[in-house]
Amino acid sequence: MNKLATLDNVFQYADINSPEVKLDRLAHLLSQAPVTIYTCKPTGVFGITFLSDNIKDLLGYKAGEFLHNPDFWINNIHPDDWGQVISGMNDILAGKSLLRKYRFKMKNGHWKWIRDRARLVTDPSGKPVEIIGGWTDISELIHTEDALRQSEEKHRFLLEQINAGIMIHAPDTRVISCNQQTCNLLGLNEQQILGRVAADFECAFICEDETPMRFDQFPANQVIRQNRAVKNLVIGIVRSDLDDKKWVMANAFPEFNDEGEILNITVTLIDITEHVKSQEEIHRLAHYDSLTQLPNRFLIHERIDQAIHISRRENQSFALLFLDLDNFKIVNDSLGHHRGDLLLQQVSDRLKDCLRKGDMAGRLGGDEFVVLLPNTGADGAAHVSSKIIEAINAPFDVEEYLLNIGTSIGISIYPNDGRVSDTLTRHADIAMYHAKASGGGRNCFFDSEMNARIEYRLVMERDMHLALDQHQFQLHYQPQIDLASGKMVAVEALIRWPHPQRGMISPAEFIPIAEDSGLIMQIGLWVLQRACRDIKTWLAEGHPRIKVAINLSLRQLQNPQLFAQIIDIIDETGIPPACLELELTESVMMENHDVTLDFMAQCRNFGINFSIDDFGTGYSSLSYLTKLPLDKIKIDRAFVKDIAKDSDANTIVSAIISMAKSLRLKIVAEGVETEEQLNYLKECGCDTVQGFYFSPAVSYAMLTQMINP
């Protein structure tokens, strides 16, 4: 039967105004309500005095189970909630309304969350009569709240685990949430962050170029202004508790509502401090010299290019100084690279002390430095270069060694000496070379003639390399005649260069360039090899043994492998060592006499002979000569040339011959061209002569014909 239809019939025939009908109607309404209505006593265990019939739907009990047992309600409250329920009932008795939630045991033994809203009913005198309230099932609400809480806790946990700072901004850019990593990055706590805009934080922010960050440049502010996400902003954080700044990569993303309005902005901050430091270190290594911390070649040219741009715009000039240390190689070779490095560091310090603010000193490599002087002309450059020369000339104290070096400086001026970096640097280098060639310890301004000379030098160096590769060099020999017998007893090996385009080039023209460039090492080795092979051929063909004199330069003597190379050549050709005579000038022997003495002693023990070439032009003392393992002294052609014309020359030649005889050394006079010179040398007791009077230097083939069978 339809329950509603039955009720309709009842109401149709009943007196609707009778108390019975009214009560039935109220009972029916209460049973259908979502809230279970109750009343209870305001004393004792608060026994239930009335309960709506829908209690069965709520908890599974009948109303009578509550009504017949005063302790039933209180005994079925969850033990963990009992205390707060009793406390709440006492608050009601004190006249307060109550809204509470707690767990109640259902008929089936399960626990259900209910919400209890109750208030006290009093009589006109204020005396408590009863408590009336209502129970509502909030199990689903509690489950939803639990799920939401767990979700929030999980979200918070995940935020704390992420290795990035996360801030959520309101549309007015105030921070409404942040994680611990944000606090760590900013050096602040939550209270110092929440509710504030980033510009008010107790730390400073800078842009990637290290300028202070403006209000409109903060990530959240940019999102508000542009109404879109902002990505990959590099931001520096300056904190008072750190010596160095932190760097973060910031990204900001807006969340929009259905109307396209920004609800909030999430900003992520990734710590890139180590990456930035690595980049800075890479930049430093790429742009600065690791030894002196001065700008290196790359940065030097970058700064020169900047100076060119500014000078062109402002119609200014600037000066470029190219420095090369004098005698640095000697320090490096004799005291070691460690002390050489310490010396370079002290040089760089002195250089910086000589400069003004805005000037730049840099190191190209080795012992070469440059100085850039912006907005400076010739007078200013001369003043600064003189100041530098004076500073470098002062002794250096390097690990208890007092070292004296100097510097040669070449100067080029923009725009007269060049309009691009490479040209200015090259011209300053050329000027430095001329300063060094002039004796060193001075400055020299570039001029166009220098460029022509350097270009010629570069061409000569290139052609000499080709000459070695293409076997263009030849060895000629000038006979040395024994005055007693009139026979050829020795020859001097002299290099010749028949250039394929320029014809015969004099040794006086290319040998100095070979010396400076270091090519003399290869050329000198070729001379030794060619001479020894020629000696081998002559001996194999049955010609008399003949001694060949070969000149050695200072640069060759500085080669520690020279003795071993000579021995290898002698072993390869199988010639007697006594067929070889090495000629050294006085100046060469005096330059580094300890090394020279050791080399001469090694060669002499092997059977190789020595002579002093161009004797009389140096500063050899008699005591020094007695220490050398010499066989001959060669009188310089400058003295022989003036015999009979100049009585001083006669006196000098006579004195040299007398001194040599006293030392039991043989005498060779070179450059003999006249009979008068020859006769005077005979009178003085000279042993051997060479010169055009007898024969110029001749080719191998011609000399072979001249040798007696």
Q: What is the pLDDT of residues 186-196, one digit of tens each?
A: 999 989 999 99
CA nearest neighbour of 410 among 364, 342, 375:
364
Both tokens assigned to 20:
């019975």
pLDDT reported for residue 480: 95
Where does residue 452 rank: exposed (0-12), middle (13-18), buried (19+ CB within 10 A)? exposed
Q: What is the pLDDT of residues 53-73, one digit of tens each?
A: 899 999 999 999 999 998 999
pTM of the model: 0.50
Q: What is the pLDDT of residues 392-441, one digit of tens each?
A: 999 999 998 899 999 999 999 999 999 999 999 999 999 998 898 888 89
- Long-range residue pairs from 394-398, CB within 8 A, at least 24 positions apart, any chain: 394/350, 396/343, 396/346, 396/347, 398/335, 398/339, 398/342, 398/343, 398/346
pLDDT reported for residue 691: 94
Query: Which fold does the domain 33-143 belong to in CATH?
Result: Beta-Lactamase (3.30.450)
Residue 349: CB atoms within 10 Å: 14
Q: What is the largest CA-CA distance in the chain?
A: 178
Q: Please tell me the least confidently modeled range out of 3-12, 79-88, 221-230, 534-543.
A: 3-12
Delimiting residues of CATH 3.30.450.20 domain(s) in the chain: 33-143, 162-277
Please tell me the class of the 465-706 domain: alpha beta
Delimiting residues of CATH 3.20.20.450 domain(s) in the chain: 465-706
Whether the pLDDT of residue 22 is over 70: the answer is no
Helix, strand, or coil (residue 502) = coil
User: The domain 288-446 belongs to what CATH superfamily?
Assistant: Reverse transcriptase/Diguanylate cyclase domain (3.30.70.270)
pLDDT band (50, 70, 90) for residue 6? very low
Delimiting residues of CATH 3.30.70.270 domain(s) in the chain: 288-446
CATH architecture of the domain with range 162-277: 2-Layer Sandwich (3.30)
Both tokens assigned to 120:
């006290």
